[in-house]
Amino acid sequence: MPVLQCASVDPVTGEITWSVCSKADACANPAGYRIDEDSQDTITNFTTQIQPSLICDEHYKWRMSLLGSSMFIGYLTGSVLITPLGDVIGRKKSITIGCLFQAIGLSGITLSLSITSWSTYRSIWGFIFLLGTGTSSHYNLTHVYANELTTMTHQKRI
């Protein structure tokens, strides 16, 4: 959970001041809240762009942990689905399919970061999943493919 700051509005001047507050205070604050990006306890990465809309969600921890593990779930899925295709349709075609999944995943993540909402969270989860699915072909098939393309004397080096 990032460090949060709650807004308080001075009734006389209308000036907004920010002070550190808890999650409960931030979610109940009608003036709004923001993530304290200057705090040493706040990790600043792409998730801080989608977190503000999710912080007051009751399933915040579950959704953020799923976001972090979606790459590995995709890798597992790709290992089960794409890697065996290397023996059926060929290693080069399977690696190309993996590259296509990676391109879609990376492009989708990049485009999704411009919008902050719950639907963006779901789309980023899906795109990270596709990225993990495509990555599995590189890890699992390129080593075998490289060994098949080299002579017997150079296979030990690979």
Q: Kindly give the confidence (pLDDT) of every residue in the chain, 158 residues in length, as a single tens digit, with 9 standing for 90 and above.
A: 788 888 888 888 888 888 888 888 888 887 788 888 888 887 776 666 666 667 777 777 777 788 889 999 999 998 898 888 888 898 888 888 989 999 999 888 888 766 655 567 778 888 999 999 998 888 887 777 777 777 777 766 66
- Global pTM? 0.68
CB-based burial label for 26 (10 Å; 0-12, 13-18, 19+): buried
Work out the burial of residue 137: count CB atoms within 10 Å of its CB; fewer than 13 is exposed, 13-18 middle, 19 or more buried: buried
Helix or strand (DSSP H, E) at 8: strand 4-9
Count CB neighbours of 85 within 10 A. 18
pLDDT on residue 23: 83
The three-point CA angle 94-95-97 to 5° equals 65
What is the per-residue pLDDT for 119? 60
Q: What's the half-sphere exposure (Cβ side, CA atoms, 13 Å) at 108?
A: 19
Tell me the CA end-to-end span of the chain in Å, nearest whole number: 44
